[in-house]
């Protein structure tokens, strides 16, 4: 099982020092050893008040105006006790917002524990908004899938199927029709909330946007079709499974059967396309994308067709019954 991702406080500080307007107050020796493993932020007001049950010790702890004002209500000993109680839970880092002064007891306890204490000149809400976006980018769950990701009419289609089924050739045909390739062969997929973002898994930009065409070799779509033929990442909205046609294969003829594939816990519509000699897979992919667009606008052509057909059959049955009962 893949280990959860984590981020050291030192990485956070180096990557976003300017944007988050950060400085270090205490616990500098622990910045390389302290790790954040949750994209969520916690404000430890209740913990400072004494309620430490279910304390999320894996989160970044933000001390805003409310928390700082609350600490000011304590005398020296009570404040130290409240801070010590939270520090003993060993969260990865504390951040004071709005460039507020840190209580001496907080600095001493965190220095002793080796837990970083940072300060930001940003107001609390602004800091939380920016740091949440960053943590979501760095700690988002991810996986890798074999396939081809293309942007067709603004819809991200993830083409999957057995090796040699024609995914790359279909992508090449789509690019020639004016659509864009995101990645071929190995797709890196990240989850952000309920959205899946796909991109190439290549380690270097020089390896991006290459496609293997059997019999021809590896080609670079950017060098052939130009900048309009590629994009770096795209939201995955439909999974298109290319499956070799076999006699007796059961396929959906009406489009009423709604299938889905779960990737990183997110359900994505799945459409299975039988592959036969002579089928125009690129055109079918275009129709899949356009149909998805009209469904997003609330229009379901398959459901409407089915409803009208049933209505027509009921009307015919009613007319037949009236003729049957007419004995004159």
Say whether both 253 and 216 belong to one domain. yes
Say whether both 63 and 188 belong to one domain. no
Does a structural domain hold residue 310? no
Say whether both 19 and 108 belong to one domain. yes
Does a structural domain hold residue 201? yes
**What pLDDT, on a 0 to 100 scale, did the predictor assign at position 251?**
77
Active site (annotated) includes residue 42 = no
**What pLDDT, on a 0 to 100 scale, did the predictor assign at position 1?**
43
Does a structural domain hold residue 321? no
Does a structural domain hold residue 306? no
Say whether both 43 and 149 belong to one domain. no
Say whether both 29 and 63 belong to one domain. yes
Q: Which domain holds residue 192?
A: 142-299
Joined tokens for residue 153 = 């009419």
Active site (annotated) includes residue 167 = yes
Say whether both 95 and 194 belong to one domain. no
Say whether both 118 and 51 belong to one domain. yes
- How would you list the strands of the sheet with 180-192, edge to edge? 233-235, 195-200, 180-192, 142-152, 155-161, 238-244, 266-275, 259-263
Say whether both 151 and 285 belong to one domain. yes
**What pLDDT, on a 0 to 100 scale, did the predictor assign at position 22?**
96
Catalytic residue among 253, 262, 297, 318: 253
Q: What are the percentages of helix, strand and coil residues in the chain, rounded to 5?
A: 40, 30, 35
Give me the number of domains the chain comprises.
Answer: 2
Active site (annotated) includes residue 185 = yes
Catalytic residue among 59, 167, 190, 234: 167
Does a structural domain hold residue 326? no
Question: Residue 71 and residue 82: Cα distance in Å, rounded?
Answer: 8
Catalytic residue among 185, 235, 243, 306: 185
Question: Residue 106 and residue 48: Cα distance in Å, rounded?
Answer: 12
59 in Cβ contact with 91 (< 8 Å) = yes
CB-based burial label for 211 (10 Å; 0-12, 13-18, 19+): buried
CB-based burial label for 284 (10 Å; 0-12, 13-18, 19+): middle
* Residue 127: CATH number of its domain: 3.40.1390.20
Does a structural domain hold residue 305? no
pTM of the model: 0.74
Say whether both 170 and 287 belong to one domain. yes
Say whether both 273 and 153 belong to one domain. yes
Does a structural domain hold residue 232? yes
Note down pLDDT in tens along the chain; length 328 residues.
456 789 999 999 999 999 999 999 999 999 999 999 999 999 999 999 999 999 999 999 999 999 999 999 999 999 999 999 999 999 999 999 999 999 999 999 999 999 999 999 999 999 999 999 999 889 988 999 999 999 999 999 999 999 989 999 999 999 999 999 999 999 999 998 889 999 999 878 888 899 988 888 899 999 999 999 999 999 999 999 999 988 878 777 777 778 899 999 999 999 999 998 888 999 999 999 999 999 888 888 777 887 888 888 887 666 555 556 655 6
Catalytic residue among 144, 146, 244, 259: 146
């Amino acid at each position: 099982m893949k280990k959860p991702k984590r981020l050291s406080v030192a990485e956070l500080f180096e990557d976003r020092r300017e944007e988050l307007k950060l400085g270090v107050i205490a616990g500098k020796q622990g910045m390389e050893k302290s790790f954040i493993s949750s994209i969520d932020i916690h404000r430890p007001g209740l913990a400072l008040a004494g309620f430490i049950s279910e304390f999320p010790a894996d989160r970044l702890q933000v001390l805003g105006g409310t928390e700082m004002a609350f600490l000011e209500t304590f005398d020296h000993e009570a404040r130290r006790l409240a801070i010590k109680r939270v520090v003993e839970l060993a969260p990865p880092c504390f951040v004071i917002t709005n460039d507020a002064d840190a209580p001496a007891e907080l600095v001493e306890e965190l220095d002793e524990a080796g837990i970083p204490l940072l300060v930001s000149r940003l107001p609390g809400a602004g800091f939380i908004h920016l740091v949440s976006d960053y943590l979501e980018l760095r700690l988002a769950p991810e996986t890798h899938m074999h396939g081809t990701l293309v942007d067709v009419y603004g819809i991200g289609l993830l083409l999957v199927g057995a090796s040699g089924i024609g995914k790359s050739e279909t992508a090449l045909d789509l690019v020639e029709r004016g659509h864009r390739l995101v990645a071929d062969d190995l797709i890196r997929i990240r989850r952000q909330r309920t959205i899946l973002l796909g991109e190439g898994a290549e380690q270097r930009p020089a390896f991006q946007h290459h496609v293997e065409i059997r019999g021809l070799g590896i080609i670079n779509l950017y060098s052939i079709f130009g900048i309009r033929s590629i994009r770096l990442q795209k939201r995955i909205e439909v999974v298109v499974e290319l499956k070799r046609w076999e006699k007796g294969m059961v396929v959906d003829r009406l489009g009423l059967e709604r299938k889905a594939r779960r990737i990183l816990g997110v359900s994505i519509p799945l459409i299975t396309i039988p592959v036969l000699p002579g089928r125009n897979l690129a055109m079918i992919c275009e129709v899949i994308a356009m149909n998805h667009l009209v469904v997003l606008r609330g229009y379901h052509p398959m459901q409407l067709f089915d409803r009208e057909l049933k209505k027509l059959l009921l009307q015919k049955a009613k007319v037949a019954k009236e003729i049957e009962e007419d004995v004159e």
